[in-house]
Amino acid sequence: MAYANAFAALADPTRRMVFERLGKGPQAVGAIAETLPVSRPAVSQHLKVLKEAGLVSDRAEGTRRIYYIDPEGLGQMRAWLDRFWDTALAEFGAEVARDNLKRKDAK
Amino acid sequence: MAYANAFAALADPTRRMVFERLGKGPQAVGAIAETLPVSRPAVSQHLKVLKEAGLVSDRAEGTRRIYYIDPEGLGQMRAWLDRFWDTALAEFGAEVARDNLKRKDAK
DNA sequence: ACTTACGGTAAGTCATGGCTTACGCAAATG
DNA sequence: CATTTGCGTAAGCCATGACTTACCGTAAGT
């Protein structure tokens, strides 16, 4: 059920930007905020959501907090998506075949 | 940029239930609504969002519309997630190693 | 000890979006 | 054709959540 929070977390554009920023490497909160069009508290709130979703972790470094991507959340999302992948491909193929038949009949 | 709509689409619990329902096989709108705690129009609206996100497609069958999962949206999400997967694993390993060092020092 | 730097939290505002009921449209059925 | 069945859309209501400013705690520097 944890993937639920992950999807919700990555649904917001700004929060996705925060996450993508961490894809370039670990960053402090202020450093992230500087590159984004929102205030630092907003970034803090986004990081909190991402952390609760298992998408990021953090460590203290003096007075700063360094955030980095946690594979946990990513893995759960991938697992969930993969549950649909194979069957979706098969079903879609069947639908396309049905569609081709119809077009043929129309001729 | 299309994966953005996909994440937003799967962020809602009800909409995720609709999608998961389609994972069992193609279904008509009314059939989906019967199994869910929301009205049929609500399901219609969710399907519209899922369709715009490339997550489902539909065909007409008499007066019903049969919806089924479209691999397109799933594929884009998987591709996006995979962009972070490898680097996230590596970074996370480095963080764990750093943490172990700290614990050692503390002894 | 004082001050500065860095971040998390509280409170309040405003937009987004998910839900309902009511309505309209098209295809099958008699 | 009139009726029924199955969906999509419109309008309106209400909760959620993303953002801001203000404030507080903590760690380093002088």
Amino acid in position A100: N
CA-based nearest residue to B55, from B12, B102, B95, B106: B12
The full set of domain ranges for chain A reads 2-106
**What kind of fold does domain B2-82 have according to CATH?**
Arc Repressor Mutant, subunit A (1.10.10)
pLDDT digits (tens, 9 = 90+) for B8-39: 999 999 999 999 999 999 999 999 999 999 99
Long-range pairs for A85-92: beta carbons < 8 A, 24 or more residues apart: A85/B71, A85/B74, A85/B78, A87/B23, A87/B69, A88/B23, A88/B69, A88/B70, A88/B71, A88/B74, A89/B71, A91/B25, A91/B26, A91/B68, A91/B69, A92/B57, A92/B68, A92/B69, A92/B70, A92/B71
Q: Is A26 on the interface with B (CB under 8 A)?
A: yes
Mean pLDDT of A87-107: 74
**In the predicted model, is pLDDT for residue A32 greater than 70?**
yes
Q: What are the chain A neighbours of B78 within 8 Å (beta carbons)?
A: 78, 81-82, 85
Interface test with A, best of B1, B61, B84 (most A CBs within 10 A): B84
- Measured CA A88 to C1' C23 distance, in angstroms: 35
Separation CA B67–CA A59 (nearest Å): 46
Supply the pLDDT for residue A97: 86
Supply the pLDDT for residue B94: 87
Mean pLDDT of B50-72: 96
Of A33-47, A51-65, A93-107, B33-47, the one with minimum mean pLDDT is A93-107
Window 59-88 of chain B: CB closer than 7 A to strand D:
63-65
pLDDT digits (tens, 9 = 90+) for A50-95: 999 999 999 999 999 999 999 999 999 999 999 999 999 998 988 8
**What kind of fold does domain A2-106 have according to CATH?**
Arc Repressor Mutant, subunit A (1.10.10)
Give the count of beta carbons closer than 10 Å to the beta carbon of residue A94. 12
Supply the pLDDT for residue B102: 58
